Amino acid sequence: MKEVNEQANAATINTRPWINPDRAQSLLRLLRERILVIDGAMGTMIQQHELDEAGYRGKRFAQGYDRLYAAAGHSHGDGCGCSRDQRGNNDLLTLTQPDIIGDIHAQYLAAGADLIETNTFNSTTVSLGDYGLEHLARELNETGARLARAACDAAEVQDPTRPRFVIGVLGPTSRTASLSPDVNRPGFRAISFDELRVAYREAADGLIDGGADVLMVETVFDTLNAKAALFAIEEVFDARGARLPVMISGTITDASGRTLSGQTAEAFWNSLRHSQPLAVGLNCALGAKDLRPHVDVLAQVADAYISTHPNAGLPNAFGGYDETPEDMAGMLREFAEAGLLNLVGGCCGTTPAHIAAIADAVRDQRPRVLPVLEEVA
């Protein structure tokens, strides 16, 4: 059945060779054998370090701007005006605190993650613009992938029988292409498809050069943003004449079970299935319990592997997350028993303890079998 599906794919867009055939083949083999474990939250782990402004800036950005770079015609100096607060710019830590980021990757690998996500959620020119650091997009993606790959390589040295994979993360950006941020101007857009496409292309190129094994368009709340990312990825693959496996993960943001751009899980899949991803799934916003019915729908309609990485429950009154590793692992075990899962991990509020518990809970469970869907004439 699987072969039929792979032939169907091969006959259409996915005819390019893999960028790294050994890694891609071993990932595909493992997906047929068992449920694979993705890591947990990066932000939650970074918070535990309680870094201050100076901690975020490190030496290179001590003044708030990049000492190694100034736009043409501009020289930084006292009061040059481009110094910005960097506290909260978690992606910048890839450059200023690489040991912290590398250690978080190592902790998730030790907890049992097969795949770890790069610290690049906001590393597009669009999101970096909020910090005045657009020029870092390429460097952050490449270095972010390198850090994650180094952590995977170290884990593989310890246990050569167990391959580990880097998921190069492309986040949703801080702007929506299909919705207006201004209720009084519903036709206004803060960003265009083309601007997003260019930004995602740069990020994807950086991730690939840094050694990402998979690209994941994640936390999708606006399907048009995701389409721009997937279009950019295709452009990058075209230019290289080779491809990586691609994952897509959407976010259900309201009680009626829709994304921010108004789609149910099924509509979301139907809008993006033409890109023939390796996996499609849902993450963030909801905990496992509330995500379950939507994962169920995806598992019925999608002829791709299913992933889910929920938050540790819904946020509490203080914006924190209360679900214990045991709570979350118990619920996700039920997902696995129902045959819904191929890849599972955690989003906001999850820690290595959550991932260890989830890995334990799904270890002996069978992965969902990839369905072959009938062609719609």
- Asked if 355 interacts with Zn ion (CB under 5 A), we say no
Q: Which residues contact 160 (CB under 8 A, 6 or more apart)?
A: none
CA angle 62, 68, 70 (to 5 degrees): 100
Radius of gyration of the chain (CA): 20
CB of 77 to Zn ion, least distance (A): 7
CB of 348 to Zn ion, least distance (A): 3
- Asked if 240 interacts with Zn ion (CB under 5 A), we say no
Closer CB to Zn ion, 61 or 200, in the complex:
61
CB of 314 to Zn ion, least distance (A): 11
User: Which span (118-126, 178-186, 303-311, 354-362) binds Zn ion, by CB under 5 A?
Assistant: 303-311
The span from the CA of 37 to the CA of 52, in Å, is: 32
228: its two tokens? 């721009």
CB of 35 to Zn ion, least distance (A): 20
- Asked if 80 interacts with Zn ion (CB under 5 A), we say yes
User: What letter represents residue 161's amino acid?
Assistant: T
62: its two tokens? 């001590």
Closer CB to Zn ion, 75 or 158, in the complex:
75
CA angle 80, 81, 82 (to 5 degrees): 100
Kindly give the residue spans of alpha helices, DSSP state H, lying in the chain.
2-11, 21-33, 43-47, 53-57, 93-96, 98-111, 125-128, 137-158, 193-209, 223-240, 265-272, 288-301, 325-337, 352-362
The span from the CA of 196 to the CA of 208, in Å, is: 18
31: its two tokens? 């997906």
Dihedral pair phi/psi, residue 301, rounded to 5°: -100, -20
> Which of 8, 28, 82, 100 contacts Zn ion by CB under 5 A?
82
- DSSP classification of residue 164: -
Burial class for 52, CB neighbours closer than 10 Å (0-12, 13-18, 19+): exposed
> Which of 16, 34, 60, 76 contacts Zn ion by CB under 5 A?
76
CB of 283 to Zn ion, least distance (A): 6
CB of 261 to Zn ion, least distance (A): 18
CB of 4 to Zn ion, least distance (A): 35
CB of 81 to Zn ion, least distance (A): 6
Closer CB to Zn ion, 121 or 237, in the complex:
121
Site string for Zn ion, 8-37 (x = CB under 5 A): ------------------------------
Site string for Zn ion, 42-71 (x = CB under 5 A): -----------------------x------
> Which of 115, 331, 348, 356 contacts Zn ion by CB under 5 A?
348
| 139 three-class SS | helix
Q: Which of residues 271-290 bind Zn ion (CB under 5 A)?
A: 284
Total residues binding Zn ion (CB under 5 A): 8
- Asked if 38 interacts with Zn ion (CB under 5 A), we say no
User: Which span (28-36, 129-137, 223-231, 347-355) binds Zn ion, by CB under 5 A?
Assistant: 347-355
Q: Which residues of 266-305 are buried (b: 16+ CB within 10 A; e: fewer)?
A: ebbbebbbebbbbbbbbbbbbbbebbbebbebbbebbebb
| 141 three-class SS | helix
| 126 three-class SS | helix
Closer CB to Zn ion, 248 or 348, in the complex:
348
Closer CB to Zn ion, 211 or 287, in the complex:
287
CB of 43 to Zn ion, least distance (A): 8
Q: Which residues here bind Zn ion, judged by CB under 5 A?
A: 65, 76, 80, 82, 284, 311, 347-348
